Amino acid sequence: YQRRVRATKINQLTNEVNAYKAELQELQSAQDLKVRRDSLITECKSIAIELGQLESTLNELTIEEQSRKSKHRAIDNQIQKLNDISNQKMENLRRYERDTYNAVEWLRKNKGMFK
């Protein structure tokens, strides 16, 4: 009878030890998860900082692009004004000095003939 009681007691204690081992493994897994979570949080913060820097760079580049486009439009407008003035002068020359106009046109068409 005592053997049976001892065997039962040993079985109970073995089951308790196994239960404690399982609980210890769960705690270890939870600790591993916490470490992994902390690592992921740190990584997310690092990515957020990098994203902020990239967004700042993108904004700077966008502003620079807009500035360059604006300068390009201004230069195009100046060129157009100069072309308009040149065309007006040529038109006046055509109206009032036809021979001179024809000479200028001929020179423009044949400028490759001169060095």
With pLDDT > 90 as the criterion, what percentage of the chain qualifies? Answer: 62
**Does the pLDDT at position 72 exceed 90?**
yes
Coil, strand or helix at 108: helix
Q: 43 by DSSP, 3-state: which?
A: helix
> 53: which 2 tokens?
């820097």
- Contact by Cβ (8 Å): 13, 6: no
- Measured between alpha carbons, how far is 26 from 14 in angstroms, rounded to an integer? 18
Q: What is the mean pLDDT of the chain?
A: 91
- The Cβ-side half-sphere exposure at 112, using a 13 Å CA radius, reads 1
Residue 32 confidence class, pLDDT cut points 50, 70, 90: confident
Query: For the residues 71-87, what does the mean pLDDT come to?
Result: 94
Helices 2-96 and 98-109: angle between axes, nearest 10 degrees: 140
Distance CA 11, CA 5 (A): 10
Band (33; pLDDT cuts 50, 70, 90): confident
